[in-house]
Amino acid sequence: MTWQDTAVAPSGTHHLRGGVPLYVERFDEVLKFHPPGLAPVRRGEHAWHIRVDGSPAYSRRFLRTFGFYEGFAAVVSPDGWHHIRTDGTDLYRARYAWCGNFQGGRCPVREPDGAYLHISSEGEPAYGARWRYAGDYRDGIAVVQAVDGRSSHIDLSGELVHGVWFLDLDVFHKGFARARDGDGWTHVDGRGRPVYGRRFASVEPFYNGQARVERFDGGLEVIDVTGRQIAELRPGLRSEFASLSGDLVGFWRTQAICAAVELGVFDALPGTIEGVAQACGLEPERCGRLLRALAELHLTRQEGSAWWTTERGDYLKATHPWTLAGAAVEYGRRFARKWEALPAALRSDAGWRAPDIFGEVAADRERMATHHRMLMSYALHDYASVPSA
């Protein structure tokens, strides 16, 4: 009896061939058959693999089982994840926090401490390095992510293929890999070099020399390997005119946040419009407008008649350990005036001199306290991962 023409029943409890059940047994869950003709099944707290006739492939039971790839299947035992052979015996003694599937004689696994690596079909580490993440191999190359969050390609021995690191990366497909750098998504060649100059919000793999991409304005198009547009599938969803207009009134956001901090709105939340207005000495109708404006900035949210700060808005409370309340006033009041002098600062004949910002701060005791608190918040955020001495 062959397994290639079988399918999982819509109920997910058994397998079919031509719409007819393969066996009498029913399970809580079944997955597809994989070579050499075994399928993962689960009933209650026990999982195993079955043959095409529904009989068990071995006597062992696990917490979870997955399909066989290249002769090995990932399973979950009470002591961790690992791989078994088709007869149910362990491929190796080690246990992991997670296991992938074998592709090209390699399989990604995650150790209990969170580090990723690849193991060989002998169950041994394929190399000495450890990664923040490691993906499947394809044609002898895999994507790995370093501790700094950037990704590159490695070969079967764990050596870097080109040594170029990206914010995000995919395996090679038809000679090109999807890659994202600081400017957006592109396609790179085997040496890690972008094959065209454009960048996109997203890209698909090349298919017969062409790829579907999404522009930053939301438009969709098809490009060739030089990045040239072959066809536009959807016009842009965002108007550059409207986008520029939004930038021109960007100061509205800064001023709205600054005003809310100065008025004590964030510290008065949660509360109703009337309650916040009374606590902050505001006119209720105008207080409601301000809360709705802050909601558009994802700083507040409404639940029934009550208004709350969002996780983002919490940073503008004076009591938050990483408070940016002082930064809102500094940028909205004091720094805003500095920007008015930008034309004079750029002209060669204006005689403009750079202001002594730190001297100004030092001369105002109240401003110095809020300025230092602002700098402390940035330091606590930026250096949170640095261990203390």
For the segment 333-347, what is each residue's pLDDT rounded down to a tens digit?
Answer: 888 888 888 898 898
pLDDT of residue 299: 98
The pTM (predicted TM-score) of the whole model is 0.75
Residue 133 bridge partners (DSSP): 145
pLDDT tens-digit map of 246-273: 889 999 999 999 999 999 999 999 999 9
pLDDT tens-digit map of 194-206: 999 999 999 999 9
Q: What are the residues whose beta carbons fall under 8 Å from the beta carbon of 16, sequence distance 6 or more?
A: 6, 7, 8, 9, 22
Q: For residues 231 and 91, give the distance between their C-alpha atoms in angstroms, rounded to a whole number.
A: 51
Q: For residues 99 and 76, give the distance between their C-alpha atoms in angstroms, rounded to a whole number.
A: 9
Residue 388 has pLDDT above 70, yes or no: no
Residue 68 bridge partners (DSSP): 73
Work out the percent of the chain whose per-residue pLDDT is above 90: 81
Q: For residues 115 and 54, give the distance between their C-alpha atoms in angstroms, rounded to a whole number.
A: 38
pLDDT of residue 377: 85
Contact 138, 130 (CB under 8 A): no
Q: Give CATH for domain 240-377.
A: 1.10.10.10
- Per-residue tokens: 5: 């023409």
Q: What are the residues whose beta carbons fall under 8 Å from the beta carbon of 21, sequence distance 6 or more?
A: 9, 14, 15
Q: How many CB atoms lie within 10 A of CB 237?
A: 11
pLDDT of residue 384: 75
pLDDT of residue 163: 97
Q: For residues 137 and 105, give the distance between their C-alpha atoms in angstroms, rounded to a whole number.
A: 9
- Tokens 């969709």 locate to 220
Residue 321 has pLDDT above 70, yes or no: yes
- Per-residue tokens: 199: 């960048």
CA-to-CA dists, residue 276 to 258, 266, 269, 300, 304, angstroms:
17, 9, 7, 13, 15
Mean pLDDT, rounded, for 159-174:
98
Which residue ranges make up each domain of the chain? 1-95, 240-377
